């Protein structure tokens, strides 16, 4: 009987080892599959985020172009749609202008631009904040005075439930006419 117990114990241990080995392999495969799914999900999410950043940059570049064109054409309606209600522009000399100031100026016709074009533009997106920096060439009439200047500006856009809105701008003083910067 002792030999039968010993044989039974051996076969039981062998069965446990087979079962344990099978469970171990199953766990190993489950872990590998989980890692692959996690890496795949992270890679997909990263590609989605990257794609949306690229799309956001293009949207902001297009919006900036649209805004500059609206300023050039004194299109107060389009300017008002893009500008946030608490928008502030700070010019190089410290003068501050609000959304109402800019929209009213466009409506009055006291300012008229022949050209309002930007170059050397960069667009960065940080979550729901977008920053546009460019060099602006403006020629035309401001408050009855002929102007032709080049300046740097930085615009800050915020993503809202209604889309991107232009919240803040900082403009440099006019650059010297022979400046390359």
Summarised one tens digit per residue, pLDDT across range 79-109 is 999 999 999 999 999 999 999 999 999 999 8
Q: What is the pLDDT of residue 46?
A: 43
Exposed / middle / buried, residue 2 (Cβ in 10 Å: 0-12, 13-18, 19+): exposed
pTM: 0.69
What is the DSSP secondary structure assignment for residue 175, as one 8-state letter?
A: P
Q: Where are the domains of the chain?
A: 41-171
What tokens were used for 13? 């241990």
CB of 133 within 8 A of CB of 116? Answer: no
Question: What residues pair up with 89 in beta bridges, in sequence order?
Answer: 97, 169
Helix (H) or strand (E) holding 17: helix 2-72
Name the pLDDT band for 110 (thresholds 50, 70, 90): confident
- The domain made up of 41-171 is a member of CATH 3.40.50.360: no
What tokens were used for 143? 């408050």
């Amino acid at each position: 009987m002792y030999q039968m117990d010993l044989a039974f114990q051996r076969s039981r241990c062998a069965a446990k080892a087979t079962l344990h080995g099978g469970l171990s392999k199953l766990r190993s495969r489950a872990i590998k599959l989980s890692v692959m799914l996690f890496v795949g999900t992270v890679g997909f999410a990263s590609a989605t985020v990257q794609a949306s950043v690229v799309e956001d940059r293009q949207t902001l570049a297009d919006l900036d172009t649209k805004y500059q064109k609206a300023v050039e054409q004194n299109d107060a309606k389009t300017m008002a749609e893009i500008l946030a209600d608490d928008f502030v522009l700070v010019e190089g000399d410290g003068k501050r202008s609000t959304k109402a100031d800019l929209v009213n100026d466009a409506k009055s016709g006291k300012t008229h631009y022949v050209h309002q074009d930007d170059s050397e533009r960069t667009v960065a997106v940080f979550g729901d904040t977008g920053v546009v920096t460019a060099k602006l060439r403006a020629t035309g009439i401001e408050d009855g005075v002929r102007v032709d200047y080049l300046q740097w500006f930085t615009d800050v856009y915020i993503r809202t439930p209604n889309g991107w809105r232009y919240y803040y701008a900082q403009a440099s003083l006019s650059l010297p006419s022979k400046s390359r910067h």
